[in-house]
């Protein structure tokens, strides 16, 4: 389980070590902020991310159903629907007697992102010591959103107002992705309202939109509290108002049934769904900045599930890709059924009827020979290749998604121990191994080239070299194939021989004993030089691929400690002088308090690896570093610090299962 958590976080926090020429990259909308000072915006509070009087809009999506729809939220109580494409903007106001304000302009707005919901506590002199608590959720099983407004000690006669409009059905360049699409993409604009046709009925409405967007006409429905008064203006925009008292609800959805359902019941169902999802994994650590990530990770994982396969992204790059890292989340979070659906869908996308008829090299001159030519029968586009879309084995894509897909599948078999499924998927595995060998180790030396096969791949190119990280993947794949073969009645010997060949080649050619870590790769041509400056991915893929003995693993992680830059987060408002090292100091402190670790105590080897780092921490030997998760059929685990991380040579992270 630890591997999934840390790999997911590594993808968020790591930076590429290599740069390359990119073909016309999309310009960043944040270029004007480069080199400027940073100020802390969000702070942790338990499992929530909190900001007071923030000014950003539409920077946190809420996902409900497994379609591409979402509710866009921000620091202020202004919202947008993405259905997909622009489905409208919703904002609120407050009227007390002759005075009124937009809720965005209230004197104090505390905004909390609580793993799948946004909760606002709103205070203003107009409320005369009272407050509003507004909670936004995506509907549990429908495309749309629902809002709860609770009023506490508000003055008599206070009224809530709202404004909704701008369902333009506009398609954004990357689905409204931050930093690519303009930050005002989800604002209410008069041009977005053109063609909107409202039909009002009591406290509900129907909206016809999208007639001029180049797609088919669409419908949206809304329901507001009993007693609400609705109207429209010339844009047209829908306006409404209702007295503030107790708890009020309103909802927007593409489902016409929302107009007749109990909104209190729909809100409860959405909240129960959110709670169950967020509880799939929880972090409890000494580092408060780390702890909100558990629920957020589970919600994000659910956001990239489309009902059939795991997607590349939930907002930008919301598209299926057979590999990448998404499919690891299924088993890590207890969704073994989803994992099986994903693997079945892409097993059906493996090419089986196209033998290789074109030999190496078969590179595309229009891509400067950097990619394989897209012709059936080349080494890449032949039997064993797994295509990018589910249940389609007739599409070409340039990535090597096979490598991750098979690794994810093998970890699924480890999680479930399902030998019948292993037997069913055996032909998929063996076709892949033959394909990988044909493409990336055609000289049969046991070391594999790498092309676009890990998360850092867009910045990496090895020119047919012998690469540590891809070789490690193939090592583990053959090792697992040998294990599976012996259990299902197949011959394990060919896979065992490949395992030994890879292990020997790795140690003889890529392990640098004088440095204590692997090289990034070795050149194929010229002087066949080693490239010694290994990336972070090389270290953790080699260890995760089980290529290292315990001492090699320890040496390689010391290379990470001492040679790879540890880039702190620096911002005004952070504790400790505005510099934060994510979790690192806390792990070190826990390690050094370990009663079992003689090296850290200095008893056996003379000196501590991290002298003086625990002073003033106040962390006792009995304090626990806990990662607790609830997975169907598994007991929640808690690991003591001395079980989790040891600094002694020969000890690595323990296996949890």
pLDDT of residue 375: 96
Tokens of 395: 């599409």
Contact at 8 Å (CB) between 581 and 613?
Answer: no
Contact at 8 Å (CB) between 10 and 538?
Answer: no
Contact at 8 Å (CB) between 617 and 588?
Answer: no
**Where do the H-state alpha helices sit in 155-312?**
263-278, 293-303
Q: How confident is the model at residue 212 (pLDDT cuts 50, 70, 90)?
A: confident
Contact at 8 Å (CB) between 162 and 137?
Answer: no
Whether residue 456 has pLDDT greater than 60: yes
Contact at 8 Å (CB) between 434 and 502?
Answer: no
What distances in angstroms separate CA 56 from CA 60, 71, 138, 371, 453, one per listed residue? 10, 15, 20, 40, 35
Cα 530 → chain centroid: 34
Alpha carbon dihedral 170, 176, 181, 187, in 10-degree steps, equals 70
Q: Which of 3.40.50.300, 2.70.98.50, 3.40.50.720, 2.102.10.10 is the CATH number of 49-278?
A: 2.70.98.50
Whether residue 647 has pLDDT greater than 90: no
Task: Compute the average pLDDT of residues 208-237.
Answer: 93
Whether residue 18 has pLDDT greater than 80: no
Look-up of token digits 């998760």: 629
- As a whole number of angstroms, the distance between CA 148 and CA 402 comes to 45
pLDDT of residue 348: 98
Beta strands in 117-158 (DSSP E): 117-123, 131-138, 144-152
Could you say which DSSP state residue 130 is in?
A: -
- Of 15-24, 427-436, 567-576, the range with the lowest mean pLDDT is 15-24
H helix or E strand, kind and range, residue 512: strand 511-512
Contact residues for 426 (Cβ-Cβ < 8 A; gap 6+): 484, 485, 488, 490
138-194 pLDDT tens trace: 999 999 999 999 999 999 999 999 999 999 999 998 888 888 889 999 999 999 999
Q: How far apart are the first and last CA of the chain?
A: 9
CA diameter of the chain? 85
417-427 pLDDT tens trace: 999 999 999 99
- As a whole number of angstroms, the distance between CA 198 and CA 164 comes to 11
Cite the residue boundaries of each domain of the chain with CATH code 2.70.98.50: 49-278
pLDDT of residue 388: 93
Look-up of token digits 């809304």: 222
Q: What φ, ψ does residue 48 adopt, rounded to 5°?
A: -105, 150
375-412 pLDDT tens trace: 999 999 999 999 999 999 999 998 999 999 999 999 99
How many helices (DSSP H) and strands (DSSP E) are in the chain? 15, 27
In this structure, which long-range contacts are made by residues 613-618, counting pairs with CB atoms below 8 Å and at least 24 apart in sequence?
Answer: 613/585, 613/588, 613/589, 614/588, 614/589, 617/589, 617/593
583-593 pLDDT tens trace: 454 444 444 33
Cite the residue boundaries of each domain of the chain with CATH code 1.50.10.10: 322-562
Q: What φ, ψ does residue 422 adopt, rounded to 5°?
A: -60, -40
Q: Which string of DSSP letters, residue by residue, matches 145-175?
A: EEEEEEEESPPTT-EEEEEEE----PPPTTT
Instruction: List % helix, strand, coil for the chain (3-state, nearest 5).
Output: 30, 20, 50
- As a whole number of angstroms, the distance between CA 91 and CA 188 comes to 9
Alpha carbon dihedral 540, 541, 545, 549, in 10-degree steps, equals -40
601-633 pLDDT tens trace: 333 333 333 333 333 333 333 333 333 333 333
* Nearest residue to 590 (alpha-carbon basis) of 646, 523, 545, 547: 646
- As a whole number of angstroms, the distance between CA 59 and CA 227 comes to 33
290-313 pLDDT tens trace: 899 999 999 999 999 999 999 999
Q: What φ, ψ does residue 269 adopt, rounded to 5°?
A: -65, -40
Phi-psi region of 307 (alpha: psi -120 to 50; beta: other; left: phi over 0): left
pLDDT of residue 594: 40
- As a whole number of angstroms, the distance between CA 312 and CA 320 comes to 6
Neighbours of 575 (CB within 10 A): 10
pLDDT of residue 25: 56
What distances in angstroms separate CA 94 from CA 80, 184, 284, 367, one per listed residue? 19, 24, 39, 58
Average pLDDT over all residues of the chain: 85
Q: Provide the CATH topology of domain 322-562.
A: Glycosyltransferase (1.50.10)
Contact at 8 Å (CB) between 363 and 372?
Answer: yes
Tokens of 120: 């606002």
Contact at 8 Å (CB) between 372 and 400?
Answer: no
pLDDT of residue 581: 65
* Nearest residue to 69 (alpha-carbon basis) of 78, 81, 57: 81
Tokens of 100: 């009124």
pLDDT of residue 38: 86
Alpha carbon dihedral 357, 361, 367, 368, in 10-degree steps, equals -160
Question: How open is the CA angle 133-136-141, to the nearest 5 degrees?
Answer: 145
255-271 pLDDT tens trace: 999 999 999 999 999 99
Beta strands in 324-472 (DSSP E): 466-467
Whether residue 643 has pLDDT greater than 90: no
pLDDT of residue 179: 80
Alpha carbon dihedral 186, 289, 3, 559, in 10-degree steps, equals 110
Phi-psi region of 120 (alpha: psi -120 to 50; beta: other; left: phi over 0): beta
Contact residues for 154 (Cβ-Cβ < 8 A; gap 6+): 127, 128, 130, 131, 132, 244, 245
Q: What φ, ψ does residue 226 adopt, rounded to 5°?
A: -55, 140
Whether residue 653 has pLDDT greater than 60: no
Burial class, 413, CB count within 10 angstroms (exposed 0-12 / middle 13-18 / buried 19+): buried
Helix (H, G, I), strand (E, B) or coil at 33: helix
- As a whole number of angstroms, the distance between CA 38 and CA 35 comes to 9
315-337 pLDDT tens trace: 988 999 998 889 999 999 999 99
pLDDT of residue 582: 58
pLDDT of residue 548: 96
pTM: 0.84
């Amino acid at each position: 389980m630890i591997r999934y958590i840390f790999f997911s976080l590594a993808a968020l926090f790591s930076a590429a070590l290599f740069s390359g020429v990119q073909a016309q990259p999309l310009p960043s909308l944040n270029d004007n902020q480069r080199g400027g000072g940073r100020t802390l915006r969000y702070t942790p509070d338990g499992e929530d991310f909190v900001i007071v009087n923030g000014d950003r809009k539409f920077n946190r999506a809420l996902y409900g159903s497994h379609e591409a729809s979402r509710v866009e939220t921000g620091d202020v109580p202004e919202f947008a629907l993405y259905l997909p494409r622009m489905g409208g903007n919703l904002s609120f106001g407050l009227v007390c007697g002759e005075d009124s304000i937009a809720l965005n302009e209230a004197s104090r707005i505390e905004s909390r992102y609580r793993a799948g919901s946004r909760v606002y506590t709103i205070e203003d002199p107009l409320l005369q010591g009272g407050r509003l608590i507004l909670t936004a959720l995506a509907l549990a099983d429908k495309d749309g959103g629902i809002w709860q407004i609770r009023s506490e000690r508000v003055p008599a006669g206070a009224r809530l107002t709202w404004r909704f409009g701008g369902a333009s059905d506009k398609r954004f360049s990357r689905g409204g992705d931050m930093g690519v699409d303009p930050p005002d993409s989800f604002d209410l604009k008069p041009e977005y309202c053109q063609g909107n046709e409202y039909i009002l009925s009591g406290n509900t409405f129907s909206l016809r939109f999208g007639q001029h967007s180049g797609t088919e006409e669409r419908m949206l429905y809304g329901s507001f509290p009993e007693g609400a008064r609705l109207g429209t203006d010339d844009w047209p925009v829908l306006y409404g108002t209702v007295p503030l008292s107790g708890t009020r609800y309103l909802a927007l959805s593409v489902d016409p049934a929302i107009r007749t359902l109990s909104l209190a019941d729909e809100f409860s169902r959405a909240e129960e769904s959110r709670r169950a999802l967020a509880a799939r994994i929880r972090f409890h650590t000494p580092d408060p900045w780390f702890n909100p990530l558990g629920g957020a990770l589970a919600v994000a994982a659910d956001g990239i599930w489309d009902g059939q396969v795991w997607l590349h992204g939930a907002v930008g790059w919301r598209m299926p890709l057979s590999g990448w890292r998404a499919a690891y989340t299924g088993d890590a979070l207890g969704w073994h059924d989803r994992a099986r659906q994903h693997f079945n869908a892409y097993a059906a996308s493996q090419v089986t009827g196209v033998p290789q008829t074109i030999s190496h090299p078969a590179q595309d001159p229009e891509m400067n020979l950097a990619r394989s030519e897209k012709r059936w029968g080349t080494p890449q586009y032949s039997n064993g290749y797994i295509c990018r879309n589910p249940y389609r084995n007739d599409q070409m894509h340039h990535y090597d998604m096979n490598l991750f897909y098979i690794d994810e599948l093998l970890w699924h078999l480890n999680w479930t121990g399902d030998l019948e499924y292993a037997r069913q998927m055996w032909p998929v595995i063996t076709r892949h191994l033959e394909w990988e060998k044909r493409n990336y180790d055609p000289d049969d030396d046991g070391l594999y080239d790498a092309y676009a096969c890990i998360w850092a791949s867009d910045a990496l190119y090895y020119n047919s070299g012998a690469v540590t990280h891809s070789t490690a993947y193939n090592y583990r794949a053959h090792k697992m194939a040998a294990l599976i073969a012996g259990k299902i009645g197949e011959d394990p010997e060919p896979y065992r021989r490949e395992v030994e060949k890879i292990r020997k080649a790795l140690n003889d050619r890529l392990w640098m004993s004088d440095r204590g870590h692997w090289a990034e790769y070795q050149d194929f041509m010229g002087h066949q030089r080693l490239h010694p400056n290994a990336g972070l991915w090389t270290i953790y893929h080699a260890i995760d691929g089980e290529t290292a003995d315990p001492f090699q693993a320890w040496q390689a992680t010391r290379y990470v400690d001492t040679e790879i830059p540890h880039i702190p987060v620096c911002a005004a408002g952070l504790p400790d002088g505005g510099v934060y090292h994510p979790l690192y100091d806390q792990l070190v402190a826990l390690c050094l308090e370990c009663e079992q670790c003689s090296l850290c105590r200095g008893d056996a080897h003379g000196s501590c690896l991290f002298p003086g780092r625990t002073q003033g921490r106040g962390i006792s030997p009995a304090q626990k570093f806990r990662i607790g998760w609830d997975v169907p059929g598994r007991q929640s685990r808690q690991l003591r610090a001395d079980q989790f991380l040891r600094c002694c040579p020969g000890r690595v992270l323990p296996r949890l299962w």
